[in-house]
Amino acid sequence: MYVGRFVVVGPEVGAYRVSSRSFPNRKLTARDDALTVGPTADASETDNPYVSYNCLRIVETPTGETAAFGNGSHVDPIAEKLELGYPARDALAESLLALDYEKDDYDTPRIAATLGENGEALIGTVRKDALLVETVEEPTLVATYEEDSPTAFELEVDGAAEAASEVYDHEFEHAVCAAGIARTDGGFETAIENGD
């Protein structure tokens, strides 16, 4: 089954996978407190505005570190609102609604998740027909296509690297790259799986 991009978030870990039929020549790179999706050296040029973006950011909020991740440019305003002290629910809902679903041939939903202090984890999506933002107590997935409402997902992993490789290897089709994030004693660790 092809579900496109997907996020998974549970109280302790999170992951994001880029799956793509149309733009497979992409990879993740780490930069400061962000992970970025961008083209590989051999990718064809494109003017599609939705295929290069920060997919994960870790920010210092008034109550501690929080991570935000998702499938597009909405990750930046979510992170910036968290930094300003917005509750995660509001940062997700306002940013998803402001940018709305993507105006491409598929009306591709925007999906996102946050991992905050005290085990708080939220997931959200904005589709053409809905805006959903939920707090989750167990690993939960939302994808751009097919699995486009939050649903429980098995993610029994230890650490960010395992989270990234587990979602990269998942049977959902057309894996391109994946990011993992996990809580540590002092904050978060992240990992990248580019399949190389």
Q: Name the site residues for ligand FAI (rule: CB under 6 A).
A: 4-5, 18, 20-23, 37, 48, 50-51, 71-72, 102, 104, 106, 108, 144
Q: How far apart are the two ends of the chain, measured CA to CA in Å? A: 23
- Give the residue carrying structure tokens 């210092």: 60
Which of 19/61 has CB closer to ligand FAI? 19
Which of 74/183 has CB closer to ligand FAI? 74
Which of 11/24 has CB closer to ligand FAI? 24
Question: What's the min distance (Å) between Cβ of 174 and ligand FAI?
Answer: 7
Question: What's the min distance (Å) between Cβ of 61 and ligand FAI?
Answer: 25
Quote the tokens at residue 156.
């029994």
Tell me which H or E stretch contains 80. helix 75-84
Question: What's the min distance (Å) between Cβ of 60 and ligand FAI?
Answer: 26
- Cα separation, 67 vs 97, in Å, equals 19
Which of 49/119 has CB closer to ligand FAI? 49
DSSP classification of residue 96: H
Question: What's the min distance (Å) between Cβ of 51 and ligand FAI?
Answer: 5
* Edge-to-edge strands, sheet with 34-39: 26-31, 34-39, 53-61, 64-70, 110-115, 121-127, 130-135
Question: What's the min distance (Å) between Cβ of 181 and ligand FAI?
Answer: 17
Question: What's the min distance (Å) between Cβ of 192 and ligand FAI?
Answer: 15
Tell me which H or E stretch contains 25. none
Which of 37/93 has CB closer to ligand FAI? 37
CA-closest candidate to residue 96, choices 122, 115, 78, 69: 78
DSSP bridge partners of 51:
none
- Cα separation, 38 vs 57, in Å, equals 15
Which of 29/48 has CB closer to ligand FAI? 48
Amino acid at 123: I
